[in-house]
Amino acid sequence: MQMKPSYRALKWTVLFVGIAASLGACVVTEGNGDDDDDAFGGDGGSTSTAGTATTGGTTAGTAGTKTTGGGGSTSTAGTTAAGGEGGDATGYVPGVCDDDLAVPSHPADATLNADDSKPDFACRKCLKVSCKQPWSACFGDTPTAACGYGSTEDAPGQFECIRGCYLDDMSGDDTETVLSACEDKCLDQCKDKDQGFATNDTQDLLGCGQEKCLVECFTP
């Protein structure tokens, strides 16, 4: 698997430079985005619900597997995952790791839905508007990806897990340290794969989210 060469070197620092100056600066127009409430415990809240498979969004498609869709929308995604692990008794199939990804996921629909207008869904909305491509890749299907889908139907994908871990952290450590530790805790089904990194889709959405949706998605 080809990992981004600068990822481990830069880690999370670049996009968090000037975090204080960024607070309040991210203004999202009526466009796209999902919430972090259902997927990440709400705007600026704790993330006790981060990664639950049902987050109050609309269900679409035919696979019948609900996902948080990067902060709230539920989308059916892949009861068949090329190269992925076997499904459980409910038919749920874990998201595929980069090492196992035989074909790209079909991008998720980033069209706004009724839930995206709710205040608690500001993170998802911002991601849909400002990070459409990485959001769609993370929460795509056929197969699903580990970025948006955990090892079980109730487990968060890597993106939601890392973001939730960051928002819940009370250690007082610097941002880079916290996010690095959260990444290590959130590899889930890819723990022994992908060279010990979060998947490329996870990295892409985290980077874009930190740059363009800092207040909506990463402000405790």
User: In the prediction, which pLDDT does 74 show?
Assistant: 35
- What SS3 class is residue 106? strand
The residues facing 125 across adjacent strands are: 34
The model's pTM:
0.67
Residue at token pair 């600068």? 6
d(CA 132, CA 137): 9
User: In the prediction, which pLDDT does 147 show?
Assistant: 98
Along the 220 residues of the chain, how does pLDDT read in single tens digits? 444 443 443 344 434 444 434 444 444 444 443 443 344 334 433 333 333 333 333 333 333 334 445 554 333 333 333 444 555 567 999 999 999 999 989 999 999 999 898 888 899 999 999 999 999 999 999 999 999 999 999 999 999 999 999 999 988 898 889 999 999 999 999 999 999 999 999 999 999 999 999 999 999 8
d(CA 117, CA 10): 34
Residue at token pair 């056929």? 142
d(CA 110, CA 113): 9
User: In the prediction, which pLDDT does 120 show?
Assistant: 83
Domain ranges within the chain, ordered by starting residue: 28-45+54-218
Token pair for 17: 């430079």
Rounded to a whole number of angstroms, the distance between the first and last alpha carbons of the chain is: 33
User: In the prediction, which pLDDT does 70 show?
Assistant: 53
d(CA 188, CA 94): 10
User: In the prediction, which pLDDT does 53 show?
Assistant: 36
Peptide bond preceding 134: is omega within 30 degrees of 0, i.e. cis?
A: no
